Structure 1
Amino acid sequence: MRIIGGRFKGRRLAPFKGLHTRPTSDKVREAVFNILPGEFPFRSVLDLFAGTGAMGIEALSRGAVEATFVDSDPASLAVIRKNMELCGQQARVIKKDAVAAAADLARRGESFDLIIIDPPYSSELLLETLNAIDRGGLLAPGGIIVAESGKRAPLEADFTGIESFDQRGYGDTLVYFLRRREGTDA
């Protein structure tokens, strides 16, 4: 696994071989970041179900200023810290369930320009996490959510303050792009 673009381009990241970890492939990560605006206006990044941290580190490589990584697995968090060290970067790393972390961050009044969500495909965690983000107003104005799911569990939901504006398929992976609805403060 390596960084695809930006100032850390080509840098190899430490892998994580967990039973429940499915890192986003280089192909999908490259496609996602090619879809996002080229000038990369995202200052702050929240990487939920962060795994190795590759998606958040890719965002830092391309110009994000700060990143917060959330995962409930201590081994995952150790890999994220190692990968941040390999890139000479620092970030906030939170050991917590992603849904609870999203709610806590929102309660503290935090918001993020780019939120990455990559939960286990066979769970309801994507919907629960998006609901927590929607209710809490965690997405900053002009921000984007990138959410992954498996093709067998597509996202079928309507939210109050966020909406899907694009969806792409890559093998068994579906990637959704969501933004704040116009006229909402969510």
Structure 2
Amino acid sequence: MAIRIYGNRAIKTLPGQATRPTSARVREALFNIWRGRVSGCRWLDLCAGSGAMGAEALCRGAAVAVGIDAAGAACRVIRQNWTLVAQPEQSFQVLRGDVIQQLRKLQGSFDLIYFDPPYASGLYQSVLAGIAENGLLVEEGAIAVEYSPESWQPAETAGLALDQTKRYGSTSLAFFSPEGI
């Protein structure tokens, strides 16, 4: 199966319901909100699934994209998709494993972080805390968390301020920034 991203490019998705690609409506809304911030950024895609969000970021000029997913099949698809869209001056890395453990291993910090876990995973607060504790967000950076209001309600997390929430049908986005900014 394939979906279309920025520039009408087709990328692969995993068959079945194992991953849930972010809808075109939500992708477009997020990149409109973050317009002007993506070009040249360091992008982190957590629970990356097909890698559609990282692929969009690369198509829009992100300098670096890092994706993390627990599933080997997902990591293979992400690598294929990002190889298709990345330009020679861009770099990317795909990491397989538990998202919380992988956060502890990451080097450097990121400008923009997209986090889209399985809605019922219970990962929200622990991953947000891990981002803050490990200093993975630059001072002017931002995090967008995709969620279903039935599965999670966003709240302030130590080191991160909840800036706003937006709803797009049954999907919502919560936006966080470093606390005190």
Global fold match (TM > 0.5): yes
| Aligned residue among 4, 20, 41 for 1:2 | 4
Aligned-residue offset at 1:103: 2.0
Identify the range of structure 1 (171-180 vs 16-25) with the bigger mean alpha-carbon deviation.
16-25
SS where residue 137 of structure 1 aligns?
coil
Decide whether the 8 Å contact of 2:129 with 2:158 is kept in 1: no
**Could you tell me how far apart the structure 1 residues matched to 2:23 and 2:66 are?**
21
**Could you tell me how far apart the structure 2 residues matched to 1:159 and 1:11 are?**
36
Provide the residue aligned with 1:172 in structure 2: 170
CA offsets 1:69-95 (integer angstroms, 9 cap, x no match)? 100100001111111222245511101
Provide the residue aligned with 1:122 in structure 2: 120
- In the alignment, structure 1 segments of 5+ residues that lack a partner are none
Decide whether the 8 Å contact of 2:155 with 2:162 is kept in 1: no
Decide whether the 8 Å contact of 2:59 with 2:86 is kept in 1: no
Decide whether the 8 Å contact of 1:47 with 1:56 is kept in 2: yes
Identify the range of structure 1 (173-182 vs 16-25) with the bigger mean alpha-carbon deviation.
16-25
In the superposition, the TM-score normalised over structure 2's length comes to 0.90
Aligned-residue offset at 1:42: 5.4
Provide the residue aligned with 1:47 in structure 2: 45
Q: Over aligned residue pairs, what C-alpha RMSD do you find?
A: 1.6
In the superposition, the TM-score normalised over structure 1's length comes to 0.88
Aligned-residue offset at 1:179: 0.5
Decide whether the 8 Å contact of 2:129 with 2:157 is kept in 1: yes
Q: How many residues align?
A: 176
**Aligned residue runs from structure 1 range 90-109, under 5 A:** 90-105=91-106, 108=107
**Could you tell me how far apart the structure 1 residues matched to 2:32 and 2:86 are?**
24
SS where residue 127 of structure 1 aligns?
helix
AA at the equivalent of 1:2? R
Decide whether the 8 Å contact of 1:42 with 1:114 is kept in 2: no
Residues 23 and 11 of structure 1, relative CA distance in 2, 3 Å threshold: same
Q: Tell me the percent identity.
A: 39
**Could you tell me how far apart the structure 2 residues matched to 1:82 and 1:156 are?**
33
Aligned-residue offset at 1:16: 1.1
